[in-house]
Amino acid sequence: MRVLAEEEEDMLPSTPGKVKIERAGAMTRQLHRCFASTGTMFLWALFLVAMTATYLSFHSFVDTSSRYFAASWGGLHWERQIRASASPRRPPGSAEGAGLSVLVTGAAGFVGTHCSLALRKRGDGVVGIDNFNKYYDPSLKKARRALLASHGVFVVEGDINDGRLLTKLFDVVPFTHVLHLAAQAGVRYAMENPASYVHSNIAGLVSLLEACKEADPQPAVVWASSSSVYGLNDAVPFSEAHRTDRPASLYAATKKAGEEITHTYNHIYGLSVTGLRFFTVYGPWGRPDMAYFSFTRNILQGKPITVYRGRDHVDLARDFTYIDDIVRGCLASLDTAGRSTGTGGRKRGPAPYRIFNLGNTAPVTVPTLVSILERYLRVNAKKNVVEMPGNGDVPFTHANISLAREQLGYKPTTSLEMGLKKFVRWYLSYYGYNRGTQAFNNL
């Protein structure tokens, strides 16, 4: 009020003689006001500059973090590739019903490649994501990606910890299912690089589940746990009802944690979850870090192989499961997964939570595995038999698959003899062993 009164006084000079002086005073005041408003403008300008700088630095931070994840994604062309790859191609009214649209994580991995191909072949839409890490030869992962591309499956190079990328993928495609196979696999490597297990199997899993829970519609999630969760359990065959709270390796502990974490997202957000405990999967396009693969390589190169033996000279045994049987179990899990019930992060009702063993139910000892390989390769292995070190391996695995048989119609059909024959044939061909060699002709 007082300011207003002063302004009115300035506008009405008391006597005419005072006008010049008053004008001069008024001009000074105008100038003051002008300076005052310039000061305000200056402050505003400063504020705007600060805001712009903050905005730009935020964007450069986001770009840098995207670069950290080595992602090269985005743009109209990229989105078109994603949509084309994700579109089911089952003929309308086909016996199997409408096609699924599946996001496969770890698609350039061993199991991921086989599952993506099988889904594509029956007419489902598939988009893969893989970070092509160097845990084992990335050129094998790239060759798998090329194989997938030749069947119309697009694999995004990116990390499941990149939340922006996952959100973008769900914005572009309303995936009906996620088949989550990306993980840091391997038991012994955990002693060398424990952080990689936390990165992919814990942080990556949570990042993926966050994206799934926010998606609208929410997808049903089928993911790979592991037989390693049975840890020190010695009741055989391993049943889903047995104890899994005594893991013997960090790998196993992260898979067990994954089962608890997925349960939480099922409980709070209504995500449909199916966890699959795979038992030692092997076959063509397999993982070079696994024994059957590295034994084959060493035997062919005339190098010695290390065969571990349990306490009291007991041979180690594994429930080796052929990749085609695992693929059938994965697809049956996708087909029977009930719907997620939430939308946009809100649960609308209870959703299914399932766990199944996927094994072969026919454990074979490691020396038997070696002798089958020797026969197919026609080379005698140079064996170093040593006692198993305490590095996380367990002496045997053996799956009870009644539950999977009953609910998924899962029925493994491939013996180790038959499966290894197919693996060796692929190995010799992939690594360029001459078709004229004795080993090749033997198959």
Confirm or reject binding of residue 106 to ligand NAD (CB under 6 A): yes
Interface with ligand NAD includes 112 (CB under 6 A)? yes
Q: Is 278 in the site for ligand NAD (CB under 6 A)?
A: yes
Residue closer to ligand NAD (CB basis): 181 or 300 = 181
- Displacement of CA 151 from its chain's centroid (Å): 21
Q: How many residues bind ligand NAD (CB under 6 A)?
A: 28
For the chain, the first-to-last Cα distance in angstroms comes to 102
Query: Rule CB under 6 A: is residue 274 a binding residue for ligand NAD?
Result: no
> According to the binding rule CB under 6 A, does residue 159 interact with ligand NAD?
yes
CA pseudo-torsion sign 408, 411, 416, 422 = negative
For ligand NAD, which stretch binds (CB under 6 A), given 89-97, 239-247, 273-281, 369-377? 273-281
**Residue type present at position 358:** L
Six token digits for residue 61: 């931070």
Task: Provide the mask over 183-222, with x wherever binding to ligand NAD is found by CB under 6 A and - wherever it is not.
Answer: xxx--------------x---x------------------
Q: Which is nearer to ligand NAD, 181 or 222 (CB)?
A: 181
Among 127, 153, 155, 160, binds ligand NAD (CB under 6 A): 160
Are 212 and 265 a contacting pair, CB within 8 Å?
Answer: yes
Give dist(CA 210, CA 208) in Å, integer. 5
Q: Which residue lies nearest ligand NAD, judged by its C-beta?
A: 109
CA distance 315 to 384: 13
145 binds ligand NAD (CB under 6 A): no
Of residues 99 and 204, the one with the C-beta less far from ligand NAD: 204
Contact window for ligand NAD (CB under 6 A) among 73-81, 168-176, 274-282, 407-415: 274-282
Interface with ligand NAD, residue 109, by CB under 6 A: yes
* 182 touches ligand NAD by CB under 6 A: yes
The verdict on whether 251 is a catalytic residue reads: yes
Q: Does 237 bind ligand NAD (CB under 6 A)?
A: no
Count CB neighbours of 147 within 10 A: 15
Question: Which one of 86, 103, 181, 316 is in contact with ligand NAD (CB under 6 A)?
Answer: 181
Q: Report DSSP state, residue 299.
A: H
Q: Does 229 bind ligand NAD (CB under 6 A)?
A: no
Q: Is 224 in the site for ligand NAD (CB under 6 A)?
A: yes
Positions 387 through 426 that interact with ligand NAD (CB under 6 A): none
- CA quadruple 137, 140, 141, 146: dihedral, nearest 10: 150
In angstroms, the CA 136 to CA 360 distance is 26
Question: In the set 145, 177, 287, 318, which binds ligand NAD (CB under 6 A)?
Answer: 287
8 Å CB contact between 181 and 221: no
Which window, 51-59, 75-83, 123-131, 410-418, contacts ligand NAD (CB under 6 A)? Answer: 123-131
- Tokens, residue 389: 């070190």
Query: Cβ distance 209 to 265 under 8 Å?
Result: yes
Nearest residue to 241 (alpha-carbon basis) of 409, 402, 408, 411: 402
Structure tokens at 288: 């070079």
Residue 62: strand, helix, or coil? helix
Distance CA 263, CA 271 (A): 9
Which among 137, 283, 129, 304 is positioned nearest to 208, based on CA atoms? 129
Stretch that binds ligand NAD, among 7-15, 130-138, 232-240, 343-351 (CB under 6 A): 130-138
Report in angstroms how near the CB of residue 310 gets to ligand NAD at its nearest: 19
Bridge partners of residue 182, in order along the sequence: none
Contact status: 141 vs ligand NAD (CB under 6 A): yes
- Residue 288, number of CB atoms within 10 A of its CB: 13
Least distance between ligand NAD and beta carbon 219 (Å): 17
Query: Of these residues, 189, 251, 265, 282, which one is catalytic?
Result: 251
CB 273 within 8 A of CB 263: yes
Write out the catalytic residue numbers. 251
Tell me which residues touch ligand NAD (CB under 6 A). Answer: 106, 108-112, 129-133, 141, 159-161, 181-185, 200, 204, 224, 226, 278, 280-281, 287
